[in-house]
Amino acid sequence: MTWKEEKIYRGQLKDLARIVKENHLTLTTLLVVGNAIDHREGLSRLYSHEFKHLFRP
């Protein structure tokens, strides 16, 4: 969840329909429920050219 086009909307489940409608969220939308993104540190390096793993030399 670190794309430059990324947008984060926060709210309660009871307000989810309103948030989706007001922000015209369509097509590919990822909903994360809970505190999963509250404690993230920094940006993901997964797509960085500096990031090496088994399948990328």
Which phi and psi angles does 56 have, rounded to 5°? -125, 110
CB 47 within 8 A of CB 6: no
pLDDT digits (tens, 9 = 90+) for 10-55: 889 999 999 999 999 988 888 888 777 666 666 666 667 776 766 6
Which phi and psi angles does 15 have, rounded to 5°? -105, 5
- Domain residue spans in the chain? 1-57
Strand ranges (E), the chain: none
Please give the structure tokens belonging to residue 11: 């709210």
Instruction: Write down the pLDDT at residue 21.
Output: 96
- Distance in angstroms (rounded) separating the CA atoms of residues 5 and 32: 17
pLDDT of residue 57 exceeding 90: no
